[in-house]
Amino acid sequence: MSLITSKIISTITKSNNDICNLVQRCFASKTSDYVRIVEVGPRDGLQNEKKNVPSASKIQFINKLSDCGFKTIEVTSFVSPKWVPQLADGAEVFSKINKVQGISYPVLVPNLKGLESAMSVGVQEIAVMGSASDTFSMKNLNCTSQESVDRIKTFVNLAKQNNIKVRGYISCVVGCPYEGKIKPINTVKITEALLELGCYEISLGDTNGVGTPGSIKTMLKDVLKVVSPKQLAIHCHDTYGQALVNIYTSLEMDIRVVDASVSGLGGCPYSKGATGNVATEDLVYQLNGMGVETGINLEKLMEAGDYICKEIGKPTESKVHRALSKLKN
């Protein structure tokens, strides 16, 4: 081999190594950061359970979750007991849980009456609900998507006047059980509308779990043209086993807040066949493997999952929980 050839090969090799190192550093900088997990099990996870869960059990469940390292735990919903009988004890549960400093305990409110009830027990953060699908909105909220925004407008100012933070949910961001595929523009419009009302964060929900990395990416590309990723969260149901890969896709697009439900609890009464949210245990395991900080103690999380699963008489839907339990036994 000539001296010139040797130098060319050496230069190319060094260049390739520099490129590889740069790629690794870029990947590490994107993944080795912090993701805030919003635990929605006590509200979204339990609201569809037909077996009544005693208030004392809900309180104990939430207290166990407070010991896991979460920064946000959605506690309950201040909605009419006629529509969600399981959460009729919302005021009692919120009043009696141990509120740990540094943890936010939001509740879902659908209207002014719900807000007033929440304020009467000292709620400091609420969540409001919109939809990218008119048909789903009619089934769930008895109004169109735009009407739901107009309804929120009637009480969200009162919340802000009382220094209550407001988080927004949007259901059916990529697909609807009644309308099928949802155009990204529908999700964009509702996202902008809720932000204009004063929501500090919008949780984009794949309510019936039909999303794939392709549809989630397409939707997020359009939404991110008008809002910052810092204003967004992702909320994935695992009906088709796509929740974790959809979350990974969102992380690649700089979303850093993820909703999850311990043991995969949940479902949706207005979406036939929809299962619960991604299991928090599975999400934490995935993020740990990526080198992403969550602040969540997985062992304590599994204990909280064991507790609530015994209370409702159902096995955990978390694959990580099942696997680690077998190894422990």
Output the six-digit token pair for 92.
Answer: 């009692």
pLDDT band at 21 (very low <50, low <70, confident <90, very high): very low
Is 19 a residue whose pLDDT tops 80? no
Mean pLDDT rounded to a whole number for the chain:
89
Residue 21 C-alpha from the chain's centroid: 34
Question: Residue 12 falls within a domain, yes or no?
Answer: no
Of 172, 236, 268, 309, the catalytic one is 268
Which amino acid would we find at residue 301?
Answer: L
Residues 249 and 217: beta-carbon distance below 8 Å: yes
Strands 201-206 and 165-171: parallel
What is the domain range of residue 149? 33-328
Question: Residue 316 falls within a domain, yes or no?
Answer: yes
pLDDT band at 269 (very low <50, low <70, confident <90, very high): low
Question: Residue 6 falls within a domain, yes or no?
Answer: no
Strands 76-77 and 175-176: unpaired
CA dist., res. 177 & res. 108, Å (int): 23
Question: Residue 130 falls within a domain, yes or no?
Answer: yes
Output the six-digit token pair for 33.
Answer: 């950061």
**Please, what is the Cα angle at 20 between 14 and 21, to 5 degrees?**
90
| CATH code for the domain of 180 | 3.20.20.70
Question: Residue 149 falls within a domain, yes or no?
Answer: yes
Within the chain, strands assigned E span 36-39, 72-73, 76-77, 107-108, 125-131, 165-171, 175-176, 180-181, 201-206, 232-236, 257-260
CA dist., res. 217 & res. 221, Å (int): 6
CA dist., res. 2 & res. 161, Å (int): 78
Mean pLDDT of 320-328: 92
Domain count for the chain: 1
Q: What pLDDT is attached to residue 248?
A: 98
Total-model pTM: 0.88
Q: Which helix (H) or strand (E) holds 15?
A: helix 3-31
Residues 99 and 124: beta-carbon distance below 8 Å: no
Which amino acid would we find at residue 81?
Answer: P
Output the six-digit token pair for 193.
Answer: 């509308």
Question: Residue 295 falls within a domain, yes or no?
Answer: yes
Residues 195 and 156: beta-carbon distance below 8 Å: no
Is 48 a residue whose pLDDT tops 80? yes
Among 32-36, 178-182, 216-220, 240-244, where is mean pLDDT lowest? 32-36
Question: Residue 44 falls within a domain, yes or no?
Answer: yes
CB atoms within 10 A of CB 93: 25
Known catalytic membership, residue 268: yes
Which residues make Cβ contacts (< 8 Å) with residue 269, sequence separation at least 6?
Answer: 48
Percent of the chain at pLDDT above 90? 77
CB atoms within 10 A of CB 36: 15
pLDDT band at 140 (very low <50, low <70, confident <90, very high): confident
Task: Report, in this order, helix, strand and coil percent for the chain, each rounded to 5.
Answer: 50, 15, 35
Which residues make Cβ contacts (< 8 Å) with residue 129, sequence separation at least 6?
Answer: 108, 110, 140, 141, 148, 168, 169, 171
Question: Residue 8 falls within a domain, yes or no?
Answer: no
pLDDT band at 267 (very low <50, low <70, confident <90, very high): low
**Please, what is the Cα angle at 207 between 206 and 210, to 5 degrees?**
60
